[in-house]
Structure 1
């Protein structure tokens, strides 16, 4: 049945897409699958059925170009948010993990993809597979899916070392993917796909990568300085969120206008704002959180509509090889990197599965191949194999990520817990010192290097801790010490934990060496939680010898975090809502 008007208006079409996506997401959520998978499946079904009902819905006339600004904004917002997770002061204990992961991702994933496509792929389709095709597909395989990852983590209410590693690694992995892709694309384009000219193409390709990243960083830096400057001088706090939205729009638009990557520019903008003024990022996220579901539901439904499942049938063999090679490369790279970094076993075993989702950056790189006339000979194969495999990764990846979060014991940990303030970056291993004063000053310096440091001056805080210690020793039995101070300002409890496997002689009442020192800074408003923390640690340390030994002899901060936040540590780190319910 036809309508008495032509429903070709993009806003009308967007309404149809949004409603269909919301319904599809809720149906998938009802069967315990990620909503993002439901949105993508709904988009694929809308594309498949638009030919039947196009006259009534207007979707047969759906134009990708009509929604490109909307898609670009959501991609920019995703890139900005994920880039903001790279707050360097908060990642001091994650450096080895992230560095090894980036190195292994850059080497193992593309190498495995290229080797598979050049051997088995060339055997299946010798006319379609070449070295340039395989290398570009290998670069695209590195890219992750920041939007999908963030959505699944939020939906699973996940929190922990695996979650933190994912959020910090995804923007860096995408930057590695873009860098390798730009180098390879310019390399093969400049050489004219001819092996004889490859030696001369290297310098041009290297210069192109430097230009891409340089332009994106410059645009982000100028935009961030202007936005933060306006916030300090003209813009009231109520309009901080809209100002950051303008930064995202401006960074994307300016980068694209200069021929650089909008995703890179928005990622750099997020990194800069987060490290120059960290509280601004939280305000931006809070501002857009209320409409986040709307943004993502329409975005991923539209993404599903732009992926043609029919192409899977045409290159099914190559798609299967590419998907399996990428999956194996992701898993092996993550497993090897986490093994070298001595990450907890849960992270080592499940990080690779969590990295499977493939998203917007990959689509952008594929479109870049299509847009380059000098890559026209290989564009059809790269497009068909890359997009078809992306369909599979987007359908299976979110469920794999959710399974990884669950098996790592991090799903459902997003609710407030007693020791939320004691994350990995607030834990230090190898604590040394010859006296209480020296240790307290060492830990205080670490505490004041954190974004959530107390509002009072460092010297005032130290004097308050010494004053409390002079009244009575805060050394508990079994090698634990909790020096602390109650402060007039501040809103939430914070602190740092120092661990010494060898133990330090601090004249504890029971004569034992001290292995763990928890320095607490507590505002008057949070005294109740302060008492709960003291009581919980006192019970756990004196009664649970297993937990005590694991904590005292943790190999690194990540292992100590796992000990304190694991499911079997509920007595020491319980959910606050459970405590309220019991009370």
Structure 2
């Protein structure tokens, strides 16, 4: 089948599925993943494994834009305004979730590289599903106000943990002799190199934008920079996620054009993200699902417990409001975009374990996206931040 024709069918099925998912008020990412399963090699056979491999560039670029968007959340003036509490809570809930998933899988006898990868992926949270609940029910209060900056910073922590753990996991998987150089120095070089390159490319981008003033040229420059960052990162064995994240962080803090650029990116990227998630669903190897049952359940449960426990510890240390201590962790369960991207990268970074990691994360995503919004609503209701009759019309919510 012609690859463009296959992509057209995949996009059409993805868009059609969002209309069905809208009826039960679930996030679009769930619709895209289900669409991917339908058009993949196990059902309609529109997208074959060979096609998926050829289209990996779409995933690479989509991940670059996701990381760029995450970096743009880190405006120094905003971080200074919100203070240390959200950062402390984010550090605890992300790290405790990662550690608990890692230890749980290790106890179950799973390979160390796979434990490291899934531990890193566990830190990421999907803000879209959580924000959907906040907007739909007009939630407001201490928990909601703490939740918003925490979910904004969560994925950035996940990217950094992923860069660290994957550098170690690749070393272990390669069979190279373990030493201080392989376990500490090389990962440190990769992380620092990625951050420095991101700042340098971001600075060059800010300088070049002085000479281009039309909206079209500015959008073209943004796309060019993301392509450049992803390409150079691959060539130099650096983390494209960290590089693109630092480009976004540099832009938002240095350039006056950044709000307009981000708005243009938001209009450009929806078809790209649709294809990314559909391809992710199509890449799910259903044949490994029976073998990952215990691992999948362990991942889903240990991550949820780790998120709740970590948020509780962080909030207690910072002496936050009692409702934040009790209920914030319950609102951090959803997981989607960045986690799926990390799992997809494992297909090439850790080919021996990639299919299993991908299956665990995609199956977990479907579970989290189905249950996460419900748990978030329960938590905010118990905290007294959702009032009776506070929901917006369903059509409005679905549009967001």
Give the structure-2-normalised TM-score: 0.82
Q: In the aligned structure 2, how far is the partner of 1:400 from the partner of 1:98?
A: 26
Cα displacement (A) at 1:84 = 0.6
How big is each residue's C-alpha offset from its partner over 1:388-409, in whole Å with a ceiling of 9 and x where there is no partner?
Answer: 2212222122344433554565
Q: In the aligned structure 1, how far is the partner of 2:247 from the partner of 2:254?
A: 10
Stretches of structure 2 that go unaligned for 5 or more consecutive residues are 137-143, 388-400
Q: Which is greater in Rg?
A: 1
Structure 1 residues 80-89 or 285-294, which shifts more?
A: 285-294
Structure 1 residues 397-406 or 280-289, which shifts more?
A: 397-406
Cα displacement (A) at 1:337 = 1.6
Q: In the aligned structure 2, how far is the partner of 1:256 from the partner of 1:140?
A: 20
Cα displacement (A) at 1:283 = 1.1
Q: In the aligned structure 2, how far is the partner of 1:299 from the partner of 1:253?
A: 18
Instruction: Output aligned runs, 1:161-560, within 5 Å.
Output: 161-186=146-171, 188-189=172-173, 192=176, 198=178, 201-232=179-210, 234-238=211-215, 239-277=217-255, 279-345=256-322, 347-348=324-325, 349-358=327-336, 359-364=339-344, 366-371=346-351, 379=352, 382-403=353-374, 406-407=377-378
Cα displacement (A) at 1:20 = 0.2
Match of 2:390 in 1: none
How big is each residue's C-alpha offset from its partner over 1:210-235, in whole Å with a ceiling of 9 and x where there is no partner?
Answer: 22122222322222122111222x11
Structure 1 residues 384-393 or 223-232, which shifts more?
A: 384-393
- Structure 1 residues 211 and 49 mapped into 2: Cα distance closer, same or farther (>3 Å)? same
Name which structure has the greater RCO, CA cutoff 8 Å, separation 6+. Answer: 2
Cα displacement (A) at 1:267 = 0.7
Q: In the aligned structure 2, how far is the partner of 1:249 from the partner of 1:384?
A: 26
Q: Which of 104, 122, 128 matches 1:141?
A: 122
Cα displacement (A) at 1:303 = 0.9
- Structure 1 residues 23 and 155 mapped into 2: Cα distance closer, same or farther (>3 Å)? farther
Contact 2:280/2:344 (8 A) holds in 1: no
Cα displacement (A) at 1:78 = 0.9
Match of 2:31 in 1: 38
Q: In the aligned structure 1, how far is the partner of 2:320 from the partner of 2:258?
A: 28
Structure 2 residue 88 is the aligned partner of structure 1 residue 99: yes
Match of 2:103 in 1: 115
- Structure 1 residues 289 and 112 mapped into 2: Cα distance closer, same or farther (>3 Å)? closer
Match of 2:393 in 1: none
Q: In the aligned structure 1, how far is the partner of 2:318 from the partner of 2:50?
A: 48
SS in 1 for 2:25: coil
Give the structure-1-normalised TM-score: 0.58
- Kindly tell me the number of residue pairs found equivalent between the two proteins: 375
Stretches of structure 1 that go unaligned for 5 or more consecutive residues are 1-6, 123-128, 372-378, 411-561, 569-583
Match of 1:27 in 2: 20
- Structure 1 residues 131 and 183 mapped into 2: Cα distance closer, same or farther (>3 Å)? closer
- The answer to which structure has the higher strand fraction is 1
- The answer to which structure has the higher helix fraction is 2
Structure 2 residue 36 is the aligned partner of structure 1 residue 17: no
- Structure 1 residues 317 and 404 mapped into 2: Cα distance closer, same or farther (>3 Å)? closer
Contact 2:42/2:286 (8 A) holds in 1: no
Q: In the aligned structure 2, how far is the partner of 1:60 from the partner of 1:191?
A: 32
Contact 1:21/1:297 (8 A) holds in 2: yes
SS in 1 for 2:51: coil
Contact 1:319/1:389 (8 A) holds in 2: yes
How big is each residue's C-alpha offset from its partner over 1:436-487, in whole Å with a ceiling of 9 and x where there is no partner?
Answer: xxxxxxxxxxxxxxxxxxxxxxxxxxxxxxxxxxxxxxxxxxxxxxxxxxxx
Match of 1:533 in 2: none
C-alpha RMSD of the superposition: 3.0
Contact 2:93/2:306 (8 A) holds in 1: no
- Structure 1 residues 62 and 353 mapped into 2: Cα distance closer, same or farther (>3 Å)? farther
Q: In the aligned structure 1, how far is the partner of 2:130 from the partner of 2:279?
A: 18
Structure 2 residue 73 is the aligned partner of structure 1 residue 85: yes
Q: In the aligned structure 2, how far is the partner of 1:389 from the partner of 1:307?
A: 9
